[in-house]
């Protein structure tokens, strides 16, 4: 940079200029006005050059730091956590806390933190989009948590929703088991023998009306399904649905589990995502072609009874061979499995297992579970029961209101639910966390490779230096993106630290406003999974981010690829 003197109408003026190369020519561009006095001008020029150098050194330092922090990113390792380790991670990173922790917590109740609430909301949003929004044959409802207690008498839950409470004779560990398991299963803690301490109904009882003598006893719902059955006729008529069709619901349910355990896996308060899919008895599933090539580990009743191993099979074939008895059952299992895999879960950690005869719920004539290989072993992730016409028949009987609909031939019929997909939101959340948890050995931090659709925060925006013009651009970007996405502005700590903090909670994209941004009106986007960076015009950012999150464009194609690696 150099000082330039200009004479205008006989007076001298001093300017600070710099040489810039533009279109093959070297031009002298004005940087600042220095005044009319030579000495003053020299002093001012020194100050300006000093502060520009300071900023540019800081930028260089940060850029170097950022490149250094990205150098060893390829050393990603898949980490298999225990359920306790995951619980610790969830607490530290703002996903999940024991409810009422300052008072010692309360068994089976959990609070979701500022990151956890977003993940949970995104899981529910994706489920709803896949099963309701994108389908013509499924509509949704949102029923009450507490309803008329007659519902639970009609549904059989008051009489038959029964668990057996047992205590280990050797170590005193208390748990619940299914009736048929009594005398067969050993204590999970010490292999000792269990003894029954009675049967219990896990429904939470509550009093409706504050004056006890005038009040009515009811229950917190133990499944969302009954709210669908009792509203079946209203929904069918108002939404003008024709068989086959489904009604979906997401909502809280409560079960007074004798032994809530394994973090979120067995809670007393949780959320279910359920579909009751109604058909005319024996109606064929028209969607079988959609699932022709879907393979999964199959473990049917016979294999279990004969002590055989699971078998990898096409779900379609399992249905043709009558291992899975109805096409609707096969269809919904494959749909749900596809939903999990589509959002990044690992296919090899899933299997389907048929319930043994004495294991089924009181309403079910055949049940399959989609199981997941949790660190505690294979466990139920989602249930698929054939409830036949049990529920509608019961409500018809107890309410004396017809639940029949008119079929295509103008005949009144009572619909069947041959398959009820029923999934706990928290169990789905565990699956997505387990399967996305990686560790970067080089940089020593966790990378949560969540599908961007599920990521709690879609992008973090940083100014590379804490200087007004960069901060302003970064904040304008945040304001614009916030119209559509959950994004954060992050200016504290080194760039490397900011990347690491966001990698750990699964933020897929980090947007940086750097030294080129004010002039070029662009910024960089850094991809969490491979740390590659692209430059994108700020005016295109919202659209690019939308396409990236929805998986509609490859990262490398979304902008101009930037060289970030340190050359040796």
Site residues (CB under 6 A) for ligand GAP?
223, 225, 255, 257, 266-267, 270, 272, 274, 380-383, 420, 422-424, 426-427
Q: Looking up tokens 């001298």, which residue turns up?
A: 12
CB of 326 to ligand GAP, least distance (A): 17
Q: Which of 554, 562, 456, 449 is nearest to 503 (CA)?
A: 449
Residue 272 CB, shortest distance to ligand GAP, in Å, is 5
How near is the Cβ of 167 to ligand GAP at its closest, in Å? 19
Q: Which residue is nearest to ligand GAP (CB)?
A: 424
Residue with Cβ nearer ligand GAP (69 or 336): 336
Given a contact cutoff of 8 angstroms between Cβ atoms, the answer to whether 429 and 506 are in contact is no
| Minimum CB distance to ligand GAP smaller for 181 or for 380 | 380
Nearer to ligand GAP, 116 or 508 (CB): 116
Q: How far is the CB of 430 from ligand GAP (least distance, A)?
A: 9
Residue closer to ligand GAP, measured from CB, 178 or 290: 178
Decide whether 34 or 225 has the Cβ nearer to ligand GAP.
Answer: 225
Choice between 274 and 435, CB closer to ligand GAP: 274
Q: 541-563 b/e with 16+ CB inside 10 Å = b? A: beebbeebbeeeeebeebbeeee
CB of 289 to ligand GAP, least distance (A): 28
Residue 177: CB minimum distance to ligand GAP, A: 14
Contacts of 92 (CB under 8 A, 6+ apart): none
Name which of 386 and 507 has its Cβ closer to ligand GAP: 386
- Record the tokens describing residue 53, joined without a space: 């150098």
**CA distances (Å), 242 to each of 137, 248, 489, in order?**
8, 15, 49
Question: CA–CA distance from 95 to each of 82, 86, 110, 456, 513 (Å)?
Answer: 16, 10, 10, 10, 28
In whole angstroms, the minimum distance from the beta carbon of 447 to ligand GAP comes to 27
The tokens of 309 are what? 């191993």
The token pair at 186 is 């050993």
Give me the residue label for tokens 């399992």.
318
- Residue closer to ligand GAP by CB (options 270, 277) is 270
Which C-beta is closer to ligand GAP: that of 419 or that of 481? 419
CA torsion sign for 70, 71, 72, 74 is positive
In angstroms, give the least distance from the CB of 233 to ligand GAP.
Answer: 20
Minimum CB separation of residue 560 from ligand GAP in Å reads: 45
Structure token digits, residue 538:
């700020």
Q: By the 8 A CB rule, do 67 and 57 touch?
A: no
Angle separating helix axes 425-436 and 83-92, nearest 10 degrees: 90
Q: What is the spatial distance between Cα 495 and Cα 504, in angstroms, rounded to a whole number?
A: 14
C-alpha to C-alpha distance for 513 and 502, rounded to whole angstroms: 16
């Amino acid at each position: 940079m150099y000082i330039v003197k200009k004479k205008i109408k006989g007076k001298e003026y001093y300017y600070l200029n710099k040489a810039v190369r533009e279109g093959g020519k070297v031009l002298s561009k004005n940087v600042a006005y220095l005044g009319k006095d030579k000495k003053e001008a020299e002093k001012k020029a020194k100050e300006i050059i000093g502060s520009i150098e300071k900023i540019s050194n800081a930028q260089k330092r940060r850029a170097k730091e950022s490149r250094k922090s990205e150098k060893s990113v390829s050393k990603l390792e898949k980490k298999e956590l225990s359920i306790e380790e995951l619980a610790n991670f969830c607490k530290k990173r703002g996903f999940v806390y024991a409810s009422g922790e300052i008072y010692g917590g309360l068994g089976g109740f959990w609070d979701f933190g500022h990151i956890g609430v977003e993940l949970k909301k995104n899981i529910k949003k994706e489920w709803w989009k896949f099963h309701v929004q994108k389908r013509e044959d499924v509509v949704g409802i949102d029923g009450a948590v507490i309803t008329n207690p007659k519902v639970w008498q009609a549904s059989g839950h008051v009489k038959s929703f029964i668990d057996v409470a047992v205590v280990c004779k050797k170590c005193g560990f208390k748990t619940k088991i299914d009736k048929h398991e009594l005398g067969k299963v050993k204590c999970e803690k010490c292999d000792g023998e269990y003894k029954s301490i009675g049967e219990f109904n896990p429904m939470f009882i509550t009093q409706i009306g504050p004056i006890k003598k005038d009040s009515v006893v009811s229950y917190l719902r133990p499944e969302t399904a009954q709210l669908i059955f009792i509203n079946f006729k209203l929904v069918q008529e108002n939404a003008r649905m024709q068989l086959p069709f489904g009604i979906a619901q997401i909502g809280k349910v409560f079960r007074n589990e004798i032994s809530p355990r394994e973090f979120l896996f067995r809670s007393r308060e949780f959320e279910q995502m359920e579909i009751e899919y109604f058909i005319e008895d024996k109606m064929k599933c028209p969607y079988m072609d959609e699932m022709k090539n879907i393979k999964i580990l199959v473990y049917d009743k016979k294999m279990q009874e004969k002590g055989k191993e699971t078998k990898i099979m096409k779900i379609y074939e399992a249905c043709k061979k009558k291992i899975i008895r109805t096409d609707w059952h096969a269809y919904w299992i494959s749909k749900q499995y596809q939903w999990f895999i589509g959002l990044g879960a690992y296919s090899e950690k899933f299997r389907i297992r048929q319930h043994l005869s004495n294991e089924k719920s009181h309403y079910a004539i055949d049940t399959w579970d989609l199981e997941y290989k949790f660190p505690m072993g294979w466990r139920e992730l989602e249930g698929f029961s054939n409830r036949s016409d049990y529920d509608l028949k019961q409500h018809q009987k107890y309410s004396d209101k017809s639940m029949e609909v008119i079929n295509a031939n103008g005949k009144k019929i009572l619909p069947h639910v041959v398959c009820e997909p029923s999934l706990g939101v928290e169990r789905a959340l565990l699956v997505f966390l387990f399967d996305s948890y990686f560790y970067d050995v080089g940089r020593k931090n966790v990378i949560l490779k969540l599908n961007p659709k599920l990521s709690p925060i879609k992008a973090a925006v940083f100014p590379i230096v804490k200087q007004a013009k960069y901060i302003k651009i970064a904040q304008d970007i945040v304001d614009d993106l916030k119209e559509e996405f959950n994004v954060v502005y992050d200016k504290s700590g080194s760039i490397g630290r900011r990347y690491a903090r966001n990698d750990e909670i699964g933020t897929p994209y980090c947007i940086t406003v750097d030294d080129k941004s004010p002039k070029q009106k662009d910024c960089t986007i850094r991809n969490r999974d491979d740390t590659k960076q692209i430059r994108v015009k700020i005016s295109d950012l919202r659209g690019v981010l939308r396409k990236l999150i929805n998986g509609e464009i490859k990262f490398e194609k979304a902008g101009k690829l930037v060289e970030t690696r340190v050359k040796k």
